[in-house]
Amino acid sequence: MALSCLARVPRKYHAILKCVSKRWRELVCCDEFYDYRRVHSLSETWMYGKIWFYVLDPNESQRRWKCVPGLPARALNKMGMGFEVIGKKVYLLGGGGWSDATNEVFCYDVSRNSWTQVASLSTARYDSACHVYDGKIYAIGGLASTRSDPYSWDIFDPRTNSWELHSNACAVPEVEDSVVLDGKIYIRCQASASTMSSPFYAVVYEPSSGTWQRADADMVAGWQGPAVVVDGTLYVLDQSSGTKLMMWQKDKREWVAVKRLSTLLTKPPCQLAAIGKKLFIVGKGLSTVVLDTSQTGSVEGAMVGTSIPGLITDDKVLNCKFQTL
């Protein structure tokens, strides 16, 4: 009975519930509580942004970014960190720079509001492509001066707290952007000026079969910025000239302009994230614009949008992910 009642309390009050008693704290933090909310459609999704480490409740009446305390000192101000979510845990992977990249992995348990260090990557990585498939984290490519095999990737199993190293000549080290589409991980890469007519190309990794291949050239041609998938549709924020949201139409094999946005509002360079049919465009200082993709079929592709104030800073946003509890 207690589980049924407490599971219906909005997520923003969970910190208060944990202060009532030790028994309530253990209940709110346990996997059974998480599973009950998920099964009974009581879960709420929040977004985490990596400047330092901030969280946003998109359903709050007065939406604003809040700092998450306790980020380990070794993860502060570290560039190029991988960033992923599995269940109720957020993972920060590697990062640093070419000469000081690390293999450290930090885990934030959102129910307990606590940080721990978990098993390290098999090798140092920064600016790697990080995604979740079938309950495991894939950290692909990335750079580091200490790496013996740049054409490699790690797979993390949270059940065993262990990483498994793989290598393949198609696993590119220099990652510009990545996205999961149709069960495959697409990785946009910097091309060699001597071998490619285009400055970028993309490779595709299919985790279910472990195979690599080159991506559709027409798709790659319009992939000119951060990407996100909404209901199986790929969206890209083109920031090469202003800020323009593009949509890939697979059936016609062409890119369509959805909406042009003011750079004063978006504050590029931006990152993209999505929850349901809503796109979150997060710029410098976590300045955020929310667009409803369900409106893309209206006249001239007009979209319903709102804005969320950012911080008093021009720091670049490194990544954004959603987590549901």
Whether residue 145 has pLDDT greater than 80: no
Q: What is the pTM assigned to this prediction?
A: 0.90
Output b/e per residue, 50-61; b: 16+ Cβ within 10 A. bbbbbbbbbeee
Indicate whether 170 and 195 sit together in one domain.
yes
Partners of 89 in the β-ladder: 86, 109
The pLDDT of 154-161, averaged and rounded, is 96
pLDDT at 298: 44
220 occurs within a structural domain: no
| Sheet with strand 152-157: strands edge to edge | 129-133, 136-140, 152-157, 162-167
175, 152: one domain: yes
193 domain-assigned: yes
In a domain, 222, yes or no: no
Confirm whether 223 is domain-assigned: no
Asked which of 171, 194, 215 is the last residue of a domain, the reply is 215
Check whether residue 103 and residue 31 sit in a common domain: no
Q: Is residue 92 part of a domain?
A: yes
CATH number of the domain that residue 106 is part of: 2.120.10.80
Domains: count for the chain: 3
Q: Which domain holds residue 125?
A: 78-215
Q: Tell me the pLDDT tens digit for each residue of 92-116.
A: 999 987 778 899 999 999 999 999 9
For residue 194, pLDDT beyond 50:
no
The reply to whether 136 and 203 lie within a common domain is yes
Let me know if residue 309 belongs to a domain. yes
If asked whether residues 22 and 59 sit together in one domain, one would say no
- Answer yes or no: do 317 and 255 share one domain: yes
Q: Is residue 82 part of a domain?
A: yes
Q: What is the pLDDT of residues 39-79, one digit of tens each?
A: 999 999 999 988 778 999 998 888 999 999 899 998 887 88
Residues 199 and 285 in one domain: no
Note the pLDDT of residue 114: 95
Nearest residue to 124 via CA among 139, 106, 108: 139
- Average of per-residue pLDDT across 138-144: 89
Tokens 């990080």 -> residue: 130
- Asked whether residue 100 falls in the same domain as residue 138, the answer is yes
Q: Is residue 221 part of a domain?
A: no
- Same domain as 157, residue 234: no
> Which one of 162, 192, 215 terminates a domain?
215
Percentage above 90 pLDDT, the chain = 63
Residues 36 and 90 in one domain: no
pLDDT at 118: 97
pLDDT for 144 equals 77
Mean of all residue pLDDT scores within the chain: 88
How high is the pLDDT of residue 148?
Answer: 65
Residue 147: per-residue pLDDT: 63
Decide if 155 contacts 126 (C-beta within 8 A).
Answer: no
Shared domain for 180 and 202, answered yes or no, is yes
Q: What integer is the mean pLDDT of 203-227?
A: 93
pLDDT in tens, 12-26: 999 999 999 999 999
Cβ atoms of 115 and 38 within 8 Å: the answer is: no
Q: Does residue 39 sit in the same domain as residue 155?
A: no
